[in-house]
Chains A and B, each alone.
Chain A
Amino acid sequence: MNSKSHPLNRRTFLRGSGVALALPWLETFAAGSRAKDATPKRFLSVYHPDGVGLPLKSDPAWKDWSWFPRGGEKDFELTKVLDVLQPLRSDITIYSGLSHPAARNVHGHSNADQYLTGAPVGGSGPYQNTISLDQVYAEHAGDFTRHSSLVMSTNGGVGGPRGAQTQSFNREGRPIPAMNKPKQIFDLLFVTSGKDAAAMLARSKSALDLLIASTRSLGRQLSKHDQQTLSQYLDAVRDTELKLEKAQKWLTTPVPQVDTRNLHLDAEPKEARLYFQTMYELIYLAFLSDSTRVATFQLGRENGEGPHDLLSLAVGLGGAHGLTHAVKNPGGWQNLGTYNRYQAEEFGRFAQKLKDTPEPNGSGSMLDNTLAMHGSASSSFHLSRNYPIITAGGKNLGFTNGRYLKFGTGNEDNQAGAGIVSDAGWTGKMEVEELPLAKLFVTILQRLGVESDEFSGQTGTLTRV
């Protein structure tokens, strides 16, 4: 590991991230924020395909290149894969023993689709997904901001069934297209176009006026009882009117001004480091300007050649997906671990930046009011069990960090499915007990202020979190 990969101090990241931050500019952002009275609660989920390295204990690589930490809840020790997060130790939590029950016997390549939804999407045949965690929160918090959520991925679009290129799914279970071009994301966030939108709004407004008049005229011909029923319709129209007015306001509210001189908006995945950092930077700017409070970011698709595969170029390695297949080659575990380490490093850089930025409209740092989650729907080779998950931040939301939380039983040292390079893993019987990841999602939703005790058919929260 060269010294450039250890950049988690404030000065280096400012230089590395390609954005010059100046205080006056920060204040402009704060002024542009809508809900000034309430401190924003933010949620980010970053997904990486292909899982992580899980060598067997007997393997010499185990000591350095096994993803999960070793030790107890507080005295855990990070291996080389996650040691880049050591400076943030008191701001992160690492989880083991969590997975979505419906995916445990489905090939890992099919499972990016269900990481945030927990839906039983299966491995073949007809396909139906359900709403994702971020969108449940976006339904709750989306009205406070210009954009209800920011959906990003390296590959963009929706991908295919069981080959998702987006982490976000709406109420009907349909994928929400992800954006993958920094320029496009930047324009959405910080450049108004809005001409078509304004025309559409004006049309809707006229239509609603007509509908209100028409409802009133019908109401006069109904009995008292039926007028009561019809009043629900009128309320629905009025609520829609309010929504339009809000949209109208956003149209006329100037977008936050951002200095783009140091942003690399043309970065492409093959310029891995630059691209990666620019994408994270855009999330940071979106949060900072309170343009949205919800974001998802998927690093590519499961099992694919494609742009995301190039991200491993950042650490001088070939196709990322290939790394998981080559763990038994000389240096294989180290290569996969190095790539995972790089992912953690960029995540850490982002978290550090939030930590270093005071909350514009509240107490503590931005990180204290943000829960950033990083994970995959596979651990070992093609195996959708024991998801490797890290969360950062959320102190003001009620998260106590600096912990390694092991859930389930029978797999305390993360050896179930370790060292496999065949499909015997995911097709095999589950020998250990894991808890439903959806329970963590319920905890997250509640901490974000969503009154809900259920996600994806799982009721109740995760204790200890």
Chain B
Amino acid sequence: MTRTLSFLPQSLLSSAGAVLLVLGGVWMIQAASGQEMAVSLEMAREQGRAKSRFLKDTPEIAHASDVIPKANVAVFQKSVGPLLKKSCVGCHGPEKAKGRLRIDQLNPDLLHGPDAERWREVFNALSKSEMPPEDEPDYALAAADRGSMVDWLSAELNAASVVLRSSQEHSSFRRLTNYEYNYALQDILGLPFPLVDKLPPETTSADGFNNSSELLRMSAMQFDTYRELGLKALKRATVSGARPPAITYIISMQEEMDKAAAKEAKEELEKAKAAKRPDRKRNPQRSKNQPQLVQRATGERIDFAEGEELPRDGAVVGKTPPLSPVVLELPRGRELKLDLDRFLPDEGTLRVRIRAGRSSMNPDEYASLRLIFSAHTSNNANFSQVVSAHDIPVTAPADKPQLIEFDIPLGDIQRNPFRHLATTFPRRNEFLHIQNVSNAGGGEEALRVVMDHIEISAPFYEQWPPQTHAAIFFASKNKGDEQAYGREVLTRFLKRVWRRPVTAGEVDPFMALFAKYRPGFPTFEEAMVEVLATALSTPEFLYLTQRVANAKTKSPAQISALELASRLSVFLWSSIPDDELLQLADQGKLRESKVLTAQVKRMLADPRAQRFSQNFVEQWLGLERMSSVTHVTDNALKAAMQEEPRAFFVEVLEKNRSIMDFIHSDYAVVNERLANHYRIPKVYGPQFRKVSVTPTTNRGGLLTSAVIMTMNSDGKDSHPLKRGVWMMKRILDDPPPPPPPNVPQVDLTNPEILKMTMKERIADHRNKPACNSCHSKIDPWGIAFENYDALGAYRTRIKDQPVDATSELFNHQTLDGVDGLKRYLLTDRQDQFARAMVHKLTTYALGRPLTFSDSADLDRLTAQLRRSGDGLGDLIQLIVRSDLFNSR
């Protein structure tokens, strides 16, 4: 393939040499001098951008609220029709009707005729140069003719979509998804732990999203579960009576050392007796690879990995005792196992407070603490479970240790069900393990975690009554008057739950309910909690509402400012709006341009925005599939794989980088475990960070991330078909049709087929007539990834043969491996990807399937995005101020 650099802008040419030297590459270009020069992916991106049709000076794309447009049938009759007849009807007409398409029968009035969807397919095939086929010279289409057809179709399709939009209703009115419901409950009640694991799983839409209005159904079972969970959450947030006494364990390293020393001395003595040898001195040689207690002053060591603990009466948590003369050293991967017997309460927060530091401060080494809870009730009846939500890094030096605190919900974790038995079998004990998760090297001086003080206490409360309780049952001068105070409590709670101000009339039925409940309960609070639980089952909490002034009005119409606040918070926080958003909405300021921009920025900077990146990325890329993958046996690798796309997305979002970075970037976002997998050197620690990559790393962008390659494999090897379908669905937004019935299976009992490489097998299948039309579109995208194995590791050989990752697209474009694929996307498919990204993000933001009638809005958004420079942060700002986001 030969191209010249003549079409490149001058500014690029001047810097091209330097870039090329650094980056290398595979696409060689004949330069004027006659020497071969490679064009970098960065340059391909520049070239591709220059081709965008969205950047051309086209008239402003039709606006939904503009005058209803008319069909331009005249142009069809004059030029488009004859061109179709000449180049298309031969195969898509009365004689052949390939792909069941009869172009001659399509109604040229896209606005009022029934064929707009089919015309969009024609438009897609023409604009991607997939049609007419290159090997049919009789039907060849001149570039100018193709251009005029594409222009006409594009204008008509947009107009048609505007017409459709104004005549057809589609709605974002939906219930909250399970995860949104959970976050909303947590945010309303201030509960730190997830509450919802009982709701039936959500259905995934054809687009891959779980928040699609058409699929979020409600059933009696779902409703029942809401009632149960709401009450359970409220009971967890509120308390009654006096502060329950805490069970507290304090592990004293000095005492443990005394005990361990006495035990060891006794064992030594017995050993010596048994061996009938005179008492000998203990062997001072101990491997520092074991957890050990160390006497700071003398350096004396003794192995200590398991402690038996009992609660201490009257012990107080949260004190800071002086540094202990004895410390526990925990090497990498080791744990301290504490037998807590059977005294932990059934419910409440378990606070584990550890004072710890590092034995050495090499910045390339990290250490962190993890908690595991277990029981061993009889032989072969045991369990263990990581109970800490995250590993907490130990960063302080041992001589100036830090305090590390874990909070564990005792009612939610797997407990030992036999702990209340009166008899001693099955065993009643429960164990807490404190584990050092680290990348420390080996050897005597390897980094260890040094702990000198451990407290374990439950139920733990920062204050009494706890903040979650005080937020519902707040201080008030009316507290003595159940009627007046009840109304205050309800008014505040309903406002939060319904995300809007409430009237006295709306509170009345809840007060009536309270009046009915009150006699059945000993305290005001307990009766009120039951009433509040009912509020958490109201449709206004469970659904994202959009009111109309008059039920007969047709859309589009603008949603209210308060509804916008909810839509924003569900989009960016997967939850309800906070007071600031509600207040701005209530004051009518939220739609002011500057205010809205600032609010979106604030929301994205809030920790709750992690839910957005988590949920959107998972659904966009279909990462759920990873949960059924069984061939990744290294849990740390699996976790890192799953985290990478989200971390990458956050990097692009926070820096407002171009969405084209998803196709390719000169950086990767990795942690140590993943960097090892990618063979990127010198990345230490579990946190994800941006690191530069070169072409020899064979990474950059999202397409080759290990998780994508792994979940689109068959567990043993790559799976080009899955990868191809994934590309088309997730990246190009051009999903292939489902396979037709009666497709012949690949016959793996055929020895001829068994001999073939994966690529040959696929080619064999593709050459069957029933399969060809689809597979010729799917397979090439997947074959380009053949350099990546079932775990996404880069390879140049498969078994004994060199990898052949070249493929040819339907339009005869050759893709030379992933580099070629990226190059092609960046050079020729930027508009398609940009529109796909807009489509995906808008679908998620609206929580409803997008239809043809939304096309004009999506095109306008895409044009705005491309003109503003493709920044992901800009795209979010554009979406929230779009007509789509602001209308019902």
Closest chain A CB from B402 CB (angstroms) = 29
Contact digits for A216-235, partner B, Cβ 8 Å, 1 yes 0 no: 00101111111101101101
Closest chain B CB from A12 CB (angstroms) = 36
Which candidate, B9-17, B157-165, B282-290, B413-421, is the interface stretch facing chain A?
B413-421
Contact digits for B504-531, partner A, Cβ 8 Å, 1 yes 0 no: 0000011011001100100000000010
A240 at interface, CB cutoff 8 A: yes
Known contacts: A172-B197, A210-B534, A214-B539. The answer to whether A226 contacts B380 by CB under 8 A is: no
Which positions 523-549 of chain B face chain A at CB distance < 8 Å?
A: 530, 533-534, 537-540, 542-543, 545-548
Which candidate, B180-188, B342-350, B381-389, B445-453, is the interface stretch facing chain A?
B381-389
Q: Taking CB as reference atom, which chain A residue is nearest B516? A: A206
Docked Cα-Cα span, A224 to B888, in Å, equals: 12
A123: chain B residues at CB < 8 Å are 380
Docked Cα-Cα span, A172 to B542, in Å, equals: 22
Question: Which of A107, A160, A233, A302 is the most central at the interface, judged by chain B CB atoms within 10 Å of its CB?
Answer: A160
B266 at interface, CB cutoff 8 A: no
A232: chain B residues at CB < 8 Å are 217-219
Question: Which of A162, A215, A221, A226 is the most central at the interface, judged by chain B CB atoms within 10 Å of its CB?
Answer: A226
Q: List 26 A-B contacts (CB under 8 A).
A: A108-B380, A124-B383, A124-B384, A126-B384, A127-B385, A157-B417, A159-B417, A160-B375, A163-B378, A163-B381, A163-B426, A206-B516, A207-B227, A207-B513, A222-B551, A223-B553, A225-B171, A232-B218, A233-B539, A235-B218, A236-B222, A237-B223, A240-B224, A302-B380, A303-B380, A303-B381
Contact digits for A82-109, partner B, Cβ 8 Å, 1 yes 0 no: 0000000000000000000000000111
Closest chain B CB from A227 CB (angstroms) = 7
A203 at interface, CB cutoff 8 A: yes
A110 at interface, CB cutoff 8 A: yes
Closest chain A CB from B483 CB (angstroms) = 18
Docked Cα-Cα span, A124 to B381, in Å, equals: 8
CB pair B380–A162 under 8 Å, yes or no, is: yes
Closest chain A CB from B806 CB (angstroms) = 39
Number of B residues near A (Cβ < 8 Å) is 60
B475 at interface, CB cutoff 8 A: no
A161 at interface, CB cutoff 8 A: yes
Number of A residues near B (Cβ < 8 Å) is 52
Docked Cα-Cα span, A392 to B620, in Å, equals: 52
Docked Cα-Cα span, A157 to B416, in Å, equals: 12
Docked Cα-Cα span, A304 to B417, in Å, equals: 15
CB pair B220–A239 under 8 Å, yes or no, is: yes
Contact digits for A336-358, partner B, Cβ 8 Å, 1 yes 0 no: 00000000000000000000000
Closest chain B CB from A101 CB (angstroms) = 14
Q: Taking CB as reference atom, which chain A residue is nearest B198? A: A172
Docked Cα-Cα span, A313 to B324, in Å, equals: 57
Closest chain B CB from A381 CB (angstroms) = 13
A161: chain B residues at CB < 8 Å are 381-383, 414
A211: chain B residues at CB < 8 Å are 534, 537-539
A222 touches which one: B170, B223, B425, B547 (CB < 8 A)?
A: B547
Closest chain A CB from B109 CB (angstroms) = 27
Q: Taking CB as reference atom, which chain B residue is nearest A243? A: B220
Docked Cα-Cα span, A204 to B224, in Å, equals: 11
Question: Which of B530, B551, B554 is the most central at the interface, judged by chain A CB atoms within 10 Å of its CB?
Answer: B551
Known contacts: A172-B198, A223-B169, A233-B223. The answer to whether A160 contacts B218 by CB under 8 A is: no
Known contacts: A163-B426, A172-B197, A229-B174. The answer to whether A236 contacts B551 by CB under 8 A is: no
Docked Cα-Cα span, A336 to B173, in Å, equals: 65
Closest chain A CB from B538 CB (angstroms) = 5
Known contacts: A159-B417, A214-B539, A227-B551. The answer to whether A126 contacts B383 by CB under 8 A is: yes
A207 touches which one: B173, B197, B380, B537 (CB < 8 A)?
A: B537
A residues with CB within 8 A of B:
107-110, 123-127, 157-163, 172, 199, 203-204, 206-207, 210-211, 213-215, 218, 220-227, 229-230, 232-233, 235-237, 239-240, 243, 301-306
A126: chain B residues at CB < 8 Å are 383-386, 414
Number of CB contacts from chain A to chain B under 8 A: 165
Known contacts: A203-B517, A303-B378. The answer to whether A222 contacts B173 by CB under 8 A is: yes
A162: chain B residues at CB < 8 Å are 380-383
CB pair A236–B425 under 8 Å, yes or no, is: no
Closest chain B CB from A275 CB (angstroms) = 18
Q: Taking CB as reference atom, which chain A residue is nearest B197? A: A172
A218 touches which one: B169, B223, B380, B539 (CB < 8 A)?
A: B539
B217: chain A residues at CB < 8 Å are 232
CB pair B513–A158 under 8 Å, yes or no, is: no
B385: chain A residues at CB < 8 Å are 125-127
Q: Taking CB as reference atom, which chain B residue is nearest A108? A: B380
A305: chain B residues at CB < 8 Å are 425
Q: Taking CB as reference atom, which chain A residue is nearest B533? A: A207
CB pair B380–A109 under 8 Å, yes or no, is: yes
Q: Taking CB as reference atom, which chain A residue is nearest B222? A: A236
Known contacts: A160-B375, A239-B220. The answer to whether A215 contacts B539 by CB under 8 A is: yes
Contact digits for B822-849, partner A, Cβ 8 Å, 1 yes 0 no: 0000000000000000000000000000
CB pair A236–B223 under 8 Å, yes or no, is: yes
Give me the 3 closest cross-chain CB pairs, A-B, nearest first.
A163-B381, A109-B380, A239-B220
CB pair A240–B223 under 8 Å, yes or no, is: yes
B154 at interface, CB cutoff 8 A: no
Known contacts: A214-B538, A218-B539. The answer to whether A304 contacts B425 by CB under 8 A is: yes
B555 at interface, CB cutoff 8 A: yes
Closest chain A CB from B220 CB (angstroms) = 4
Known contacts: A127-B414, A214-B539, A232-B217. The answer to whether A160 contacts B551 by CB under 8 A is: no
B377 at interface, CB cutoff 8 A: yes
Closest chain B CB from A243 CB (angstroms) = 7
Closest chain A CB from B134 CB (angstroms) = 45
A203 touches which one: B378, B530, B537 (CB < 8 A)?
A: B530
CB pair B173–A229 under 8 Å, yes or no, is: yes
Docked Cα-Cα span, A46 to B357, in Å, equals: 55
Docked Cα-Cα span, A381 to B671, in Å, equals: 47
Question: Which of A110, A204, A221 is the most central at the interface, judged by chain B CB atoms within 10 Å of its CB?
Answer: A221
Q: Taking CB as reference atom, which chain B residue is nearest A163? A: B381
CB pair A160–B418 under 8 Å, yes or no, is: yes
A225: chain B residues at CB < 8 Å are 169-171, 173
Docked Cα-Cα span, A158 to B173, in Å, equals: 42
Docked Cα-Cα span, A213 to B513, in Å, equals: 13
Closest chain A CB from B180 CB (angstroms) = 16
Docked Cα-Cα span, A236 to B537, in Å, equals: 12
B517: chain A residues at CB < 8 Å are 203, 206
Closest chain B CB from A189 CB (angstroms) = 24
CB pair B379–A303 under 8 Å, yes or no, is: yes
B537: chain A residues at CB < 8 Å are 207, 211
CB pair B219–A236 under 8 Å, yes or no, is: yes
Docked Cα-Cα span, A308 to B222, in Å, equals: 39
A206 touches which one: B197, B513, B543, B546 (CB < 8 A)?
A: B513
CB pair B417–A158 under 8 Å, yes or no, is: yes
CB pair A124–B382 under 8 Å, yes or no, is: yes
B534 touches which one: A207, A227, A303 (CB < 8 A)?
A: A207
B213: chain A residues at CB < 8 Å are 229
Q: Taking CB as reference atom, which chain A residue is nearest B538? A: A214
B426: chain A residues at CB < 8 Å are 159-160, 163, 301, 304, 306
Question: Which of A109, A236, A239 is the most central at the interface, judged by chain B CB atoms within 10 Å of its CB?
Answer: A236
Known: A204-B227, A222-B551, A223-B169. 17 other contacts (CB 8 A): A109-B381, A127-B383, A127-B385, A159-B381, A160-B375, A160-B426, A162-B383, A199-B520, A206-B513, A211-B539, A214-B540, A218-B540, A225-B170, A229-B171, A239-B219, A302-B381, A306-B425
Q: Taking CB as reference atom, which chain B residue is nearest A172? A: B198
Docked Cα-Cα span, A84 to B382, in Å, equals: 37
